[in-house]
Chain A
Amino acid sequence: MYMSEQRKGDTAIVSIKRKIRPGEVVIHAVLLSCALLSIAITLGIVIILVKESILFFGSKEVRLVDFFSTTTWQPMIQKFGILPLLNATLTTSFIAVLTAVPIGIAVAVYLSEYASGKTRNTLKPVIEVLAGIPTVVYGYFAITFMTPLLRSIFGENIVEIYNTASAGIVIGILILPLVASMSEDALNAVPRTLREAAYGLGATKMETSLKVVLPAAFSGLAAAFIVGLSRAVGETMIVALAAGAGPNFTLNPFKAAETITGYIVRISGGDVSYNTLDYNSIFALGLFLFIITLTLNMISRKVVEKYREVYD
């Protein structure tokens, strides 16, 4: 490793000429404080979310048990049950993952196992362009294209103007590039020898890629799935535009229902005043969201680390 060599070098310099350079010390300190700022950001997020959440749960209108068990979220009449918001978030995320994961893995298998170098070089930029489009543009796509499409397929009486299905599918399109590129990385990490062994036994390309390479890359694909889910849960603009503006406890994806992020955006968009229950509630929901996404991201990194050990 390079670092250990460098440390050895340092001690050698120090022993020849023990001189402390003030400039170097100052620069070291400045750079260290830059690095510590990132820790401060995390602490800031946690402190603020927790502080406002304590105010929220500490107020006499809110009970922690009701928060997690009741199905009405109506701050106007002091009803704070997270279930309708959580349910909508899970519905959109589930639909998104259902859209993105099969297509994403198929794209990854095609690009890494089947496509020629030329095809890959033309298709990869397309996927990168999709990844670079701002989410608000996807939101526009959801309300001006996906919703009318769903309504013309399933009937205008069944599909409401705002619905979680349209938002979910478009979030799926949004996370598709992420899932595809993470899956491709996982497939590329599978050693060549495995493929060559399969071909040597007389397997076809399809048998090699689906029965040997895919299972070997399973943990990487699982990580892609989890990261995709985490992105879908935290996605805001698509649901704010297409999923509806009002908490609604329903399992029907063709009905309007507001998600956690959609609620935060709607409330904070309307100049909310400080130290009100509305203001505190968006931080409590933010904390909930933060915990979900952090947990998902940590699980995915553990999964990736584990599968790296297998082949390196």
Chain B
Amino acid sequence: MNAATDLFAADLLSKKRKKRNSIIKILLFAATMITVIILCILLLNIINNAFGVIAVENEVEPDTLAVDGTPLNELENPQLLYIIDTHLSRGLVRRFNDEYPLEERSAKELLELIEERIINSHVKKSWSLIDTVFRSSSIAAYFEANPEQERRFRAWIQPGFLVRSQSSTPENAGVRTAILGSLWIILITFLFAFPIGIGTAVYLEEYAVKNRLHKIIQTNIYNLAGVPSIIYGLLGLAVFVRVLEPVTSGALFGLTDGTTANGRTILSAGLTLGLLVLPIIIINTQEALRALPDSLRHSSYGLGATRWQTVRYHLLPNSFERILTGTIMALSRAIGETAPLIVVGASTFVAIDPSSPFSKFTTLPIQIYQWSARPQGEFRNIAAAAIIVLLVLLLSMNSFAIYFRNHYAKKRNY
């Protein structure tokens, strides 16, 4: 073998190696792009289901209710009352009169009643956005076969969806009670977990001597952070719902509102989620305290401050934004939690706004779960709409946290 062939072989080898190098690079890049693609599909899939054509059928056509050529929505009160009298049963009319006398209602309220009870339109079938765009011929065929049904385009996510309360028909359902429930619960979670979380972190970082007890508590917190959320649900069910029922149902304070169900209340749910996010808040706060330079502590002690004065006037104010950011991230995890709340006993149907911590509850993720679990397509549509509401809520919380952190990070330079 001479030197020339040796060099040639080395050149061949390096070509082969270079080729392999670039193939692997492409493969790794492709794997990374998969995550981007998954995120896009996930979001598009939700948007796809939140808009689309629907087929609506009216029990009574509004045109047939017109009197002497005047369309329904221009009629006067007496004519509207006549329509109600002739189309609804006597018993039903009497019930409406008992609730709120029909004679005293405005034309607008009467029209609403007519729309709800007499026209009684309901969605027969719904299509996704992609179907609406690409399968227009089969949709057209459907409407030809069912001429009594009206074709409409519906955005399932709409202002009304936010303010309406729950309903058994998807087109009338909204997430108002769910949003209020989520906010109530998150408030209780915050009030419970924030002080205790900070207290624990301050103790572990600033007070505790690094002995056995410290190590046990620290290990224990890491372990708690890894416990599946459903286990916290079981803990909440056994402790807050069952053992502490007099407290969580409000009976102890004489505050039971008529809707409470045996401790399965907002308070129980909020405390359960509080236990769930506690380890996260502790770990985040510990990291925030650890990031502070020791010179800060030393100068405070050097001036004769006590330990608490150091914590209160120097350490907490200087790590404030990091602690709060971590807490908001933890709370946004709590807002998205579903499983523990089902175990604690979320109500399947709540149409009344929660009025106190002792009310029954439902939350956004629970609504999404219950609607997704139903086979009808329309419920999947409103589940998608509710997901958009939840994601926007989470996004705004997290952007606030990031803005807050960046805003304060600029002011400090160490």
Which residues of A come within 8 Å of B, CB atoms?
2-3, 6-7, 9, 21, 23-24, 27-28, 30-32, 34-39, 41-42, 44-45, 48-49, 52, 102-103, 106-107, 109-111, 114-115, 123, 126-127, 129-130, 132-141, 143-145, 173, 176-177, 180, 204-207, 210, 227, 230-231, 233-237, 240-241, 261, 264-265, 268-269, 271, 274, 282-283, 286, 289-290, 293-294, 297-298, 301
Contacts and interface: CB of A to CB of B under 8 A. Distances in A.
Given A236-B339, A289-B228, 18 more contacts: A24-B307, A28-B207, A31-B207, A34-B196, A38-B282, A39-B220, A41-B275, A42-B223, A115-B32, A126-B39, A134-B335, A134-B365, A136-B368, A136-B372, A143-B372, A210-B24, A241-B369, A283-B234
A301 B218 CA distance: 13
Given A34-B196, A283-B238, A45 B221 contact: no
A206 B21 contact: yes
B17 interface: yes
Given A130-B35, A205-B25, A240 B369 contact: yes
Interface string B15-37: 00110110011011101101110
B226 interface: yes
Given A38-B282, A39-B220, A269-B342, A126 B36 contact: yes
A140 B35 contact: no
A109 B28 CA distance: 7
B373 to A, nearest CB: 6
A125 to B, nearest CB: 10
Residue among B18, B199, B297 facing the most chain A CB atoms (10 A cut-off) = B199
B322 interface: no
Interface in B27-57: 27-29, 31-32, 34-36, 38-39, 41-42, 45-46, 49
A41 B365 CA distance: 25
B203 A34 contact: yes
A289 B32 contact: no
A49 B229 contact: no
Nearest to A234: B228
B41 A21 contact: no
Given A132-B398, A289-B230, A264 B31 contact: no
Contacts of A45: 227, 231-232, 234-235
Interface stretch (B97-105, B114-122, B171-179, B208-216): B208-216
B200 interface: yes
B329 to A, nearest CB: 8
A224 to B, nearest CB: 13
B313 interface: no
Contact of A31 (B20, B31, B199, B335): B199
Contact of A268 (B278, B338, B343): B343
A102 B239 CA distance: 41
Given A3-B209, A41-B224, A135-B336, A289 B231 contact: yes
A260 to B, nearest CB: 9
Those 6 A-B pairs whose CB atoms lie nearest each other, nearest first: A234-B228, A134-B336, A34-B199, A106-B31, A236-B339, A31-B203
B372 A264 contact: no
B357 interface: no
Contacts of B301: 6, 9
A265 B230 contact: yes
A236 B308 CA distance: 42
Nearest to A283: B234
